[in-house]
Amino acid sequence: MNLRLMHPNKDPGLPKEAGPSFLAVARRVSWKPASVLFSFLLFPALLQAEAKFQEISNSVVQINVESVQYSFQSPWESPRLQGSGGTGFILEENRIMTNAHVVSGAVQIRVKRPNQKTDYPARVLYIAHDCDLAILTVDNAAFFADARPLQIGPQPELNTPVTVLGFPIGGNRLSITRGVVSRIDMDVYSHSGVDAHRIIQVDAAINPGNSGGPAIQNGKVIGVAFQAITSGENLGYLIPPVVIQRFLKDLEDGIYQGYVEFGVLDTPILNPGQIQALDLDRPAPYYGVQIYRVIPGSTAAQGLKPGDVLLSINGHRITGEGDVEIQGSLYPYVELVDHLFDGDPVKVEVLRDGKIKELSLKSRKTDVLDFQRRTYGSPPEYMLLSGYLFQPLDANLMDAMGGQWSANGDLQVLYRYHYHLFHGLYKEGGLDVVLTRRLAHPSNSYGDRYLNQVVESVNGKEVLNFRQFVELLGKAGSSEPRIVIRFIGSEIPLVLESQALKNDNPEIARRYGIRKLYNLNGEAK
């Protein structure tokens, strides 16, 4: 439609010399009282909405944090102190919700509401790195005076408006941005780097400092701002109500237990030949997915087998792409298990050896994925032996060394980490140990050939994890004349004389200013 502004005396429907018609004049005269009346009737509603929004705003919290960061390339070094900021909001029982990444590794937290002139010390009550949520509290009751606890609302619909409140970089005042819900999906949460949950995508700007802030719709929290795509303009992500509510329910007994794992690796069933070969007499597209690996200790390990075709979970049919319908929307089928708790029942339907079987399982946690989950606030584990640095191959080490390994073509380490599950390299309680660095000393001259290799054994005994590796070294050093460390795929072992280590280790520590030769879950020496 094209609009054109006109002078009242130049109505195109009248002769040029004619003035406005009676209807045109009446329309202008009668509009003014109607406008005044409409404004008069609307004014109280606007005031009420403004007051309600002001209450919500006063329950949003600015969070300033001093935290520690450890070096995984030089793990013996003291942690580096850094300052950062984020946002939170007040819940019932004098609790503040924010993101786990806002307060990870915190040594000091101070909080302030928009209507307060001073800040208050806060402390972490609960933190969940697997869903990037945390609960804080303030011991001084004055902080919560006249605060209105915010309520968690239902999941928003697509293409509906949301308002995101927070304290992003660029100022100390409360920031308000608006957008619409553009997508609801399931994806990996960047904080842990491995845990996938439901997410809400919005086209509102979410910048550093917004993290932990509430997204409001109809006066209730329908999401917590937590991450953004830096390459996408105004693309932000919210933690949805279903994840928030599960987190809060998990805390009801005073302990955060975390998420269960369904625990299978599968392949979609889309090829017509594959459907025919499996004799899947099912209505399209509900062909299910075929399992090719089951993770030890997981929910699925109680009854599922490689080769099974997983047809349904808790009554929800699975498509050939691995999706199920939940409240009219398609999600990956693991969404059905994602919000369960340890011990909750799971009923599955599988096709096995041409027959359909119904199995009853119980939700379980597993530690098989822990090595790929980033940890925060804890000093890294390491062992220095004759200047050789040994470390567990986990997510933090991969973050620190992965780029270097890729550039140098250290494919074995990358393969062991990234294909740990896909190729069945895992063992329950297992964790690879890598020789990552050599501190130059006459005792380890020409020893670079051993760098970035995965330890296989110590004096003939297989290494299962880092703790056992340290224990094997201790026993071998005290009872045998030499320590022989073999590496996976290498024929040449690293041989160290036990007696020489007693002199070399202290000398290397003095030379490089290292106070502790190893750290094992805080057991430093």
Last residue of a domain, one of 320, 340, 362: 362
Please state the φ and ψ torsions of residue 447, each to the nearest 5 degrees: -95, 10
Residue 193 lies in a domain: yes
* Residues paired with residue 360 on neighbouring β-strands, in sequence order: 347
The rounded Cα 453 to chain-centroid distance in angstroms is 29
Claim to verify: residue 180 and residue 97 sit in the same structural domain: yes
**Do 118 and 234 fall into the same domain?**
yes
Helix orientation angle between 466-479 and 498-511, rounded to the nearest 10 degrees: 120
413 within a domain of the structure (yes/no): yes
Is the same domain home to 228 and 299?
no
Domain boundary among 242, 257, 272: 257
Q: Tell me the CB-side half-sphere exposure of residue 483, using CA atoms within 13 A.
A: 23
Q: Are residues 135 and 153 in the same domain?
A: yes
Question: Is 51 among the domain residues?
Answer: yes
User: Residue 34: what are its φ and ψ, rounded to 5°?
Assistant: -65, -40
Residues contacting 288, CB < 8 A, separation 6+:
269, 280, 282, 309, 310, 311, 312, 318, 319, 320, 351
pLDDT in tens, 40-77: 444 444 445 556 788 999 999 999 999 999 999 999 99
Q: 473 lies in a domain? A: yes
| Whether residue 280 sits in one domain with residue 187 | no
pLDDT (tens digit, 0 to 9) for every residue of the chain, 525 residues total? 333 233 333 343 333 333 333 333 333 334 444 554 444 444 444 445 556 788 999 999 999 999 999 999 999 999 999 999 999 999 999 999 999 999 999 999 999 999 999 999 999 999 999 999 999 999 999 999 999 999 999 999 999 999 999 999 888 899 999 999 999 999 999 999 999 999 999 998 888 899 999 999 999 999 999 988 766 567 899 999 999 999 999 999 999 999 999 999 999 999 999 999 999 989 999 999 999 999 988 999 999 999 999 999 999 999 999 999 998 899 999 999 999 999 999 999 999 999 999 999 999 998 888 999 999 999 999 999 999 999 999 999 999 999 999 999 999 999 999 998 888 787 777 899 999 999 999 999 999 999 999 999 999 999 999 999 999 999 999 999 999 999 999 999 999 999 999 999 999 999 999 999 999 986 666
- CATH of residue 328: 2.30.42.10
Which of 400, 525, 422 lies closest to 470, judged by CA?
525
Q: Is 357 found in the same domain as 402?
A: no
Please answer whether residues 272 and 310 qualify as being in contact, where contact means their C-beta atoms are separated by less than 8 angstroms: no
Identify whether residues 113 and 33 lie together within a single domain.
no
Is there a domain that residue 99 lies in?
yes
Query: What's the Cα-to-Cα distance from 345 to each of 65, 246, 300, 339, 349, rounded to whole Å?
Result: 41, 16, 12, 12, 13
The answer to whether position 108 is within a domain reads yes
Which tens digits make up the pLDDT trace of 448-464? 999 999 999 999 999 99
CATH code, 391: 3.20.190.20
C-beta atoms surrounding 57 within 10 Å: 17
**524 in a domain, yes or no?**
no
The verdict on 154 and 247 lying in the same domain is yes
Is 331 found in the same domain as 214?
A: no
Run of H or E including 483: strand 482-487
Residue entry with tokens 């490089």: 512
- Nearest Cα neighbor of 98 from 52, 140, 150, 139 is 150
Count up the domains in the chain and report the number. 4
Burial environment of residue 234 by CB neighbours within 10 A (0 to 12, 13 to 18, 19 or more): middle
Please name the helix (run of DSSP H) or strand (run of DSSP E) that holds residue 36, with its range, or none: helix 22-57
Report how many helices (DSSP H) and strands (DSSP E) the chain contains, helices first.
9, 28
- Statement to judge: residues 248 and 269 lie in one domain: no
Same domain, 334 and 431: no
pLDDT, one tens digit per residue, over 378-395 is 999 999 999 999 999 999
Q: Residue 197: which CATH number?
A: 2.40.10.120
The reported pLDDT for the residue numbered 17 is 36
Q: Which two tokens stand for residue 492?
A: 């040449």
- Total-model pTM: 0.86
Domain that holds residue 291: 264-362
Please indicate, yes or no, whether residues 179 and 299 belong to a single structural domain of this protein.
no
The answer as to whether 525 is a domain residue is: no
Out of 10, 26, 56, pick the residue that ends a domain.
56
